[in-house]
Structures are given as C-alpha cells and as structure tokens.
Amino acid sequence: MTSDVLIRRVSRVEARCAPMEWAWAAQNRDLIEANWKRRTAQTPKMFNGRVLLLSKLEFEQDLCRNTYFETNYANLVAWIDGGYPDRSIANGFAMGALRGSDGAYICGVMSAHTANAGRVYFAGGTPDLSDLRPDGTVDLAASLTRELAEETGLGEADCHVDDEWIIIRRWPTVALLRNVTLPMTAGEGAALIRANIAKEPEPELQDVRVVRTPEDIDREAMPLFQQSFFEWVFAHT
C-alpha cells in the first residue's frame, strides 16, 4: 500500500473482521514483550486488551470497504513504537472532526497517563471488540460516538454527526472521519469540554485546542494524518 496521502469523501463505510495470523507479531514476541514492559513502567494504567487493525482498504465508487483482524494492544504499540515495520497492515480508526457553529475545530490534548500523552488530535481510537457485531461487521459509527463521549463528555444529543465520511489515508494510518458540529462556537464548545473533563477523576484529555487557521496546526504535537486533514480543510475553504 502506498504511503502517499489520499483524502476522499464517501457516503458509506463498510467494515468487517476476518481471522488473520499477524506474522510480524508472531515473529517478534520478545521485542513486543520488552516494549510492553518499558511502556507500562512509564504508564502503568495501560491495558493489553484486544483491538482491531486494518488488513485491507478498498474504494468502490462512493464506498470505502475495510477488512480488520483482531490482535493484542501490546502488538499494536510495539508496531507503532518500532516505526511501523510491517507496512502490510494499518491502524484504521473512526474519529469525530469536532467543530463549532463558527466553523473552527476542537482537538483534544491527550492526558499524561495515556499511551499518546501530549498528542493533539480529534477524539477517536483504534476499534476494539466492543465495536464488533455478532455477524462480524465492525460498527465504526458507534466507535466514533463512543470515543467522542468518553473523551469529551459530549453525547449524540449535544451535536450533529454528518452521514458523510472523510477518509484520510496516510498509510499505515487511516483515519475515517465524520464532521461533528456543535450548536455553539468552538470557543464555547472548548469551555464546555474543559468543564466536562474537570469532573472526571482521570480524564483521557488534559485540555483542548481550538484550530481556526493554518497557523494553529501544531507540527510537533499533531500526528501527520491530523495535519493532513487541516491542510486539506484550509485549502478548500
């Protein structure tokens, strides 16, 4: 899969999970175990649950079709920390592109106890078994709204979620975004989220940032896919 950036709008996303043996993980068990020990020494609250990674991404007219497989979170973390040594798979996740009624966007700043401490991006996360339906399909729409609620305290009644998807493919990262619009300005939304996270004993976010112009793109703290999204947005507005 090419590492070139592709940004594409689609009306539908279909996702399913299929059994697959991840050869890289099987061949690097010692490396993965050592990396997990190092990571949990730094952030002890990290949990080695089961997550879904992307093995195939296909476009068909107005449809994006994803195929996932199940693996341990420790495998994912070691793969990322190692610089994505196996380029045959990707981390494909749903995110809410949260914005205010004034068109400005709101990103979260990840808390110190999380795996991505200090990073700045939209609420979202790698899908897990809670997103897996009994028929083997993966509910990415539910993953998006769940992560938004967990990180910001905003429920579906607090905002409008677009039906359209925006796919940011920067392999081996694939972000599947939907615009999520608040009935208030981004500044007011940021204040509401800060109030919500202040109520949490251990919130996933330590703060939020409002992004209004290209000058607000943080080249140090934002992952590349997030930078690509904002570059695309500001180039088309």
- The pLDDT score that the predictor gives to residue 214 is 98
Give me the mean pLDDT over the 15-34 stretch. 98
Strand partners, 60: 63
- The pLDDT score that the predictor gives to residue 4 is 87
Reference 57, options 180, 165, 135, 179; nearest CA is 165
- The pLDDT score that the predictor gives to residue 3 is 67
- To the question of pTM greater than 0.75 for the whole model, the response is yes
Domains of the chain: total? 1
- 11 pLDDT above the threshold of 90: yes
Q: Is the dihedral of CA 189, 191, 196, 201 positive or negative?
A: positive
Give me the mean pLDDT over the 155-165 stretch. 96
Q: Residue 195: phi, psi to the nearest 5? A: -65, -40
- Assigned domain for 1 exists: no
Q: Residue 217: phi, psi to the nearest 5? A: -70, 120
Q: What angle is formed at CA 123 by the lines to CA 119 and CA 129, rounded to 5 degrees?
A: 110
Give the whole-angstrom CA distance, residue 178 versus residue 174. 13
CA 132 to centroid of chain Cα atoms: 17
Pinpoint the alpha helices (H) of the chain. Answer: 23-27, 29-42, 73-81, 140-152, 186-198, 224-235
Domain that holds residue 23: 6-235
DSSP 128: B
| String of DSSP letters for 16-63 | EE-----HHHHHTHHHHHHHHHHHHHH-TT----EEEEEEEEEEETTE
- Assigned domain for 132 exists: yes
- Assigned domain for 122 exists: yes
- The pLDDT score that the predictor gives to residue 167 is 98
- 114 pLDDT above the threshold of 70: yes
- 2 pLDDT above the threshold of 80: no
CATH of the domain at 77: 3.90.79.10
Mean pLDDT over the full length of the chain: 97
- The pLDDT score that the predictor gives to residue 166 is 98
- The pLDDT score that the predictor gives to residue 237 is 80
- The pLDDT score that the predictor gives to residue 158 is 96
- Residues, the chain: 237
- The pLDDT score that the predictor gives to residue 42 is 92
- 1 pLDDT above the threshold of 70: no
Q: What is the pLDDT of residues 56-111, one digit of tens each?
A: 999 999 999 999 999 999 999 999 999 999 999 999 999 999 999 999 999 999 99
